[in-house]
A = this chain, B = another copy of it.
Amino acid sequence: MATVNSYTGRVPTPSKVTIDDIVTAGRALLDSEGIAGLTMQAVAQRVGVRAPSLYKHVVDRDDLVRLVAEAELASLSELMADGRGDLRSIATAFRSFAHAHPAGYLLVFSAESRLDVARLEAAVSPLLDACAAIAGPEHALEAARTLTAWATGFITMELAGQFNLGGDVDDAWEFGVERLTEAIRGSR
């Protein structure tokens, strides 16, 4: 009663690409061409198929963008977990990732990414922990949100070139980290 495929596991025409291939190609395009360059056709070309074939692996372009955003978030999460765990080094990891992968960073924190909120919160848990250590468990969440909001806002404006007038951007970052840490400590 075996079907044609059940015994060897072979299928009539095995897929030429995996979802991982597609997401990897998507990330490369995001890095090099920006979000506008993350097209179905460009991804298809990179993985060696025609655009319609991608629909065997992703629902539509939004779905692809979400998968790429998830991969970027995982990468950011790893970078944050690598550090010393204190708020300053986590903030630095945050900004380093943004400088290394501006398009990926902007995607993760935009509405376009359609990231699952629980997944996002889980990914930034090192930040939450660091804030809890400073602000105390009672205000940990609010403190983490205040710091995340400041960091994402700062970096977004920096990447948009909106901090190019007057003053040193690195100094402004240090000023912010310093002041925010104090502010969060003050909420204890």
Contacts and interface: CB of A to CB of B under 8 A. Distances in A.
A186 B106 CA distance: 31
Main secondary structure of the interface of A (DSSP, over half): helix
A165 interface: yes
Contacts of A146: 150, 154, 172, 175-176, 179-180
Nearest to A115: B162
Interface size class of A (residues with CB under 8 A): 35 or more
A171 to B, nearest CB: 7
Q: How many copies does the complex hold?
A: 2
Nearest to A164: B117
Given A141-B167, A159-B111, A161-B117, A186 B182 contact: yes
Interface string A142-184: 1001101111111011011111111100011001100110111
B175 A139 contact: yes
A143 to B, nearest CB: 8
Nearest to A174: B142
Contacts of A159: 111
Contacts of A164: 117
Q: 10 closest A-B pairs (Cβ-Cβ)?
A: A153-B153, A183-B183, A149-B154, A149-B153, A179-B183, A111-B160, A150-B150, A152-B153, A142-B175, A146-B176
Interface of A: 106, 109-111, 113, 115, 117-118, 120-121, 139, 141-142, 145-146, 148-154, 156-157, 159-167, 171-172, 175-176, 179-180, 182-184, 186-187
